[in-house]
A and B are shown apart, each in its own frame.
Chain A
Amino acid sequence: MTVLLQFEKVSKRFGGLQALRDLSFGVREGEILGLIGPNGAGKTTLFNLINGVFAPDTGRIVFAGIDITGEKPYRIARHGLARTHQIVQPLTNMTVLENCTVGACFGRENLPLSRAHEVARAAMAVTGLQDRAAMLAMHLTIAGKKRLELARALAAQPKLLLLDEVLAGLNPTEVEHMIGVIRRIRDSGLTILMIEHLMQAIMNLSDRIVVLNFGQKLAEGRPAEVAQDAQVIEAYLGDPKLAAELQGNAAHV
């Protein structure tokens, strides 16, 4: 399997805080790679480095054979990288369709408006937003806004999709729906890198897991392996009850 995204010894420091230290890992084409770790482990920073919000201090990030280290976000989007935000960032005064059209217009294909509308509608259908096309983004519920984040990212027709806690803040029914959507997206051949705190969900969805702690990689492997890793259980999970839950879950997979 070819590697789509490669981190090579990437470090990032914010003042006195070493957010990431010498981090190396790869995302393989067609997989769902789950990224877990306690709060402050550097997960969102890692996303921000990938799509160019920050430039790393040292190291290289290679995407689809192109060195994208330190490129601007809008250039990186053109290479075929799209993301959702942990704290939703809708274009509030624009409709759902317009939001998704922005994604389609300025994404990987750089589509003209008319084609972009079609792609946007298709992305809305995948996430179940097709009936809300004319609704202003600000009037969506939180679940709706999460779906919009996902639809907008999909409309960009990316090669790699970065999902930052798309399940957070959803009720169990909504979580169920969203997991189904993510599965369908993966089945369509898209590669996904996702951050998630909902252990059950990420253990079930991911092909592989990378565990971060204090900006360093603690473990990497299949969900079942990671869940049994003594270091992970000790350093990250801490809570023995949660560890047991994890192992129980991994056993189901």
Chain B
Amino acid sequence: MPLLRLMRRPFFWIIAVAIAVFAISPVIGNDVELRESLLLDALYITLASNLNLMLGYAGYINFGSIVFFGLGGYVCVWLVNAYHWTLGPSLFVAGICVSVLALIFGLGILRLRGAFFALSTIGIVEAVQAFAENFSPWGGSSGIYLSSEIFKPFGGPAHALWVIYFIMVGVMGLSLYLSYFIKTSKFGLGLLAIGQNEDAAAILGVPTPLYKAMVYSASAFLPAIAGGLYFFKSAFIQPSDAFDLSLSTEALVVAMLGGQGTVTGVALGAYLYEELRGYLLTTATFSNFQLVISGALLLLIVLFFPSGLMGFIYSRFPRTQKVLE
């Protein structure tokens, strides 16, 4: 069993501890403010970790990862609103739908490489957003509002927010384990080979079109669920929020900041970035000042620290390479 083999490695338990810290720390003292901040951390970690499957492993820059998040949100909110589904099945179906859609998109656009692929991912965001704006069951450009009734089954909004938080932490945990599991698998080895030299990988026998489409699809599942949760929580979804390209870019910055291709680095990067963002958002001088910072940060990383935070840690403390993936 590969799972049992992984459980013998320390990194498996490092992830477990991180999840436990997330789950427990706001419960102590019933700290709602901390919970909301950690919820966003968990969301960023989920988005960045799944983006990293494409970016860090297979070497494909996906500017449109936000489309999974937004579509997942739409499918979930729509199922809850129009068909009165409960949260659990709605989230699951949203994840599956978006994954299948990504597989179909992927088989098409993954024939492109480099800048052309990156451009086509932006095209997909624009196309899906235009679709949502004109699709009347999804409320067109005014979006979908959920009534406060939806929180009833959880015993009121206050309770529901806790449940949503725990699910989000679970989704984050699954994202980290997925990243780790893929990285240590044969599938992951094939992806890394594709990321290094796709033509050489194909000649070595890596089934490149299939692997690329599979990882694109896999990277869609958990962000779609996170999107479902996020918009269920706000009880409102509209196209401009769901398909906000700047969140896509932020996820890229986060992955690069932490060190693309690593599990720890990306999670750490997401945590640090989101904390920084939270701090900058509370200063009144600038709205969305974090975007200026993230732009500057991206430039600095690309120019001076292409292997990110983890690259720095690995080179300073080579022993960590054996433990931290």
In A72-103, the 8 Å CB interface with B consists of 72-74, 77-78, 82-83, 85, 89-94, 98, 101-103
In the bound complex, what is the Cα–Cα distance between A152 and B193 (angstroms)? 12
In the bound complex, what is the Cα–Cα distance between A156 and B193 (angstroms)? 15
Knowing A91-B196, A102-B190, A102-B193, say if A156 contacts B204 (CB, 8 Å). yes
Interface size class of A (residues with CB under 8 A): 20 to 34
B90 to chain A, nearest CB (A): 37
In B163-209, the 8 Å CB interface with A consists of 185-186, 189-190, 192-193, 196-197, 199-208
Query: Could you tell me if B205 and A107 are in contact, using CB atoms closer than 8 angstroms?
Result: yes
A74: which of B185, B189, B192, B202 is its contact (CB, 8 Å)? B202
**Top 3 A-B residue pairs of the complex, sorted by shortest distance between their CB atoms:** A77-B205, A106-B205, A91-B196
Asked if A230 CB lies within 8 Å of chain B CBs, one says no
Besides A51-B203, A74-B208, 12 new A-B residue pairs in contact (Cβ under 8 A), listed by A number: A72-B202, A73-B203, A74-B207, A83-B203, A85-B200, A92-B196, A93-B196, A94-B192, A94-B196, A105-B190, A113-B189, A156-B205
Query: Could you tell me if B204 and A103 are in contact, using CB atoms closer than 8 angstroms?
Result: yes
A244 to chain B, nearest CB (A): 39
User: Chain B residue with minimal CB distance to A88?
Assistant: B200
B207 to chain A, nearest CB (A): 5
In the bound complex, what is the Cα–Cα distance between A156 and B203 (angstroms)? 11
Query: Could you tell me if A102 and B197 are in contact, using CB atoms closer than 8 angstroms?
Result: no
Interface size on B, residues (CB 8 A): 18
| A residues at B contact (CB < 8 Å) | 51, 53, 72-74, 77-78, 82-83, 85, 89-94, 98, 101-103, 105-107, 112-113, 116, 152, 156
In the bound complex, what is the Cα–Cα distance between A189 and B199 (angstroms)? 28
Q: Which residues on the B side are within 8 Å of A107 (C-beta)? A: 204-205
Q: Which residues on the B side are within 8 Å of A112 (C-beta)? A: 186
User: Chain B residue with minimal CB distance to A112?
Assistant: B186
Interface string of B130-169 (1 = CB under 8 A from A): 0000000000000000000000000000000000000000
In the bound complex, what is the Cα–Cα distance between A98 and B186 (angstroms)? 11
A-B contact list, 28 entries, CB within 8 Å: A53-B199, A72-B202, A74-B203, A74-B204, A74-B205, A77-B203, A78-B205, A82-B204, A89-B203, A90-B197, A91-B193, A91-B197, A91-B200, A92-B197, A94-B192, A98-B189, A98-B192, A102-B193, A102-B204, A103-B205, A105-B205, A106-B206, A107-B204, A107-B205, A112-B186, A116-B186, A152-B204, A156-B205
What's the dominant secondary structure at chain B's contact region?
A: helix
In the bound complex, what is the Cα–Cα distance between A48 and B181 (angstroms)? 35
In the bound complex, what is the Cα–Cα distance between A72 and B208 (angstroms)? 10
Q: Which residues on the B side are within 8 Å of A77 (C-beta)? A: 203-205
B206 to chain A, nearest CB (A): 5
Q: Which residues on the B side are within 8 Å of A103 (C-beta)? A: 204-205
User: Chain B residue with minimal CB distance to A98?
Assistant: B189
Query: Could you tell me if A102 and B185 are in contact, using CB atoms closer than 8 angstroms?
Result: no
In the bound complex, what is the Cα–Cα distance between A85 and B190 (angstroms)? 19
A73: which of B196, B197, B202 is its contact (CB, 8 Å)? B202
Q: Which residues on the B side are within 8 Å of A92 (C-beta)? A: 196-197
In the bound complex, what is the Cα–Cα distance between A85 and B201 (angstroms)? 12
In the bound complex, what is the Cα–Cα distance between A77 and B202 (angstroms)? 8
Q: Which residues on the A side are within 8 Å of B203 (C-beta)? A: 51, 53, 73-74, 77, 83, 89
A124 to chain B, nearest CB (A): 15
In the bound complex, what is the Cα–Cα distance between A51 and B190 (angstroms)? 19
Query: Could you tell me if B186 and A89 are in contact, using CB atoms closer than 8 angstroms?
Result: no
In this complex, which of B190, B200, B205 has the most chain A Cβ atoms within 10 angstroms of its Cβ?
B205
Query: Could you tell me if A91 and B199 are in contact, using CB atoms closer than 8 angstroms?
Result: no
Query: Could you tell me if A102 and B199 are in contact, using CB atoms closer than 8 angstroms?
Result: no
A224 to chain B, nearest CB (A): 34
Query: Could you tell me if B189 and A102 are in contact, using CB atoms closer than 8 angstroms?
Result: yes
Knowing A53-B203, A73-B202, A91-B200, say if A105 contacts B192 (CB, 8 Å). no
In the bound complex, what is the Cα–Cα distance between A74 and B203 (angstroms)? 6
Q: Which residues on the A side are within 8 Å of B185 (C-beta)? A: 113
B200: which of A89, A98, A101, A116 is its contact (CB, 8 Å)? A89
Q: Which residues on the B side are within 8 Å of A93 (C-beta)? A: 196
User: Chain A residue with minimal CB distance to B188?
Assistant: A113
Query: Could you tell me if B193 and A94 are in contact, using CB atoms closer than 8 angstroms?
Result: yes
Q: Which residues on the B side are within 8 Å of A105 (C-beta)? A: 186, 189-190, 205
In B202-228, the 8 Å CB interface with A consists of 202-208
B192: which of A53, A73, A91 is its contact (CB, 8 Å)? A91
A150 to chain B, nearest CB (A): 13
Q: Which residues on the A side are within 8 Å of B199 (C-beta)? A: 53, 89
Q: Which residues on the A side are within 8 Å of B206 (C-beta)? A: 74, 102, 106
User: Chain B residue with minimal CB distance to A92?
Assistant: B196
B319 to chain A, nearest CB (A): 13
B42 to chain A, nearest CB (A): 30
In this complex, which of A91, A92, A101 has the most chain B Cβ atoms within 10 angstroms of its Cβ?
A91
In the bound complex, what is the Cα–Cα distance between A89 and B200 (angstroms)? 6
Query: Could you tell me if B207 and A113 are in contact, using CB atoms closer than 8 angstroms?
Result: no
A67 to chain B, nearest CB (A): 19
A32 to chain B, nearest CB (A): 21
Q: Which residues on the B side are within 8 Å of A78 (C-beta)? A: 205
In the bound complex, what is the Cα–Cα distance between A83 and B202 (angstroms)? 12
In the bound complex, what is the Cα–Cα distance between A101 and B6 (angstroms)? 19
Query: Could you tell me if B190 and A106 are in contact, using CB atoms closer than 8 angstroms?
Result: yes
